[in-house]
């Protein structure tokens, strides 16, 4: 068994401050691109984020940028808990994806996909959107994608605490 795994973050875990809450070993490897999916907000997190949270939805015409992180296997369960894998109904489930790194390499990464979608186009809170913007800068995602993230509409809800468990 490997002592580490690669994780593709496209939502709040783009931000190292957020990711390091549960995965302090996480080290950024590269920005990366997931082909055949689009970014959407398909589930709400009222307690933690007070709005829609990110999901990847299959779409042959789209792609999602994110960060490729190297994480200690000892933190795998903590990441699963953060993503609500253990909840009923399940928050997110694991998915193995092929990612094209901005460095030209191909990676096989773990990511998470919403298990029970509530809808499409749900609006994130300003706090969640701000976390995505910070993370997209930290991960050095392409500037046009950073602009896209920055222009996403939000729901105007204040509050929420990104440090809460699901």
What is the set of active-site residues? 83
Q: How far, CA to CA in Å, does 123 sit from each of 48, 74, 107? A: 14, 34, 30
Angle 54-57-60 from CA coordinates, rounded to 5°: 140
Residues 31 and 140: their CA atoms lie apart, in Å, by: 6
The helix (H) or strand (E) run that includes residue 158 is none
Q: Which residue do the tokens 């809170």 mark?
A: 125
């Amino acid at each position: 068994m490997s002592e580490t795994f690669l994780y593709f973050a496209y939502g709040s875990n783009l931000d190292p401050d957020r990711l390091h809450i549960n995965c302090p070993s996480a080290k950024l490897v590269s920005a990366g691109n997931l082909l055949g999916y689009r970014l959407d907000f398909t589930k709400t997190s009222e307690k933690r984020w007070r709005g829609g949270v990110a999901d990847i939805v299959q779409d042959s015409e789209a792609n999602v940028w994110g960060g490729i992180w190297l994480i200690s296997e000892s933190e795998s369960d903590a990441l699963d808990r953060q993503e609500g894998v253990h909840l009923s109904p399940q928050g997110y489930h694991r998915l193995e994806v092929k990612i094209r790194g901005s460095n030209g390499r191909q990676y096989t990464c773990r990511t998470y996909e919403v298990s029970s979608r509530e809808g499409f186009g749900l609006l994130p809170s300003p706090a969640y959107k701000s976390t995505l913007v910070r993370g997209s800068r930290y991960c050095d995602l392409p500037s046009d994608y950073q602009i896209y993230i920055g222009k996403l509409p939000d729901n105007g809800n204040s509050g929420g605490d990104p440090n809460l468990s699901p």
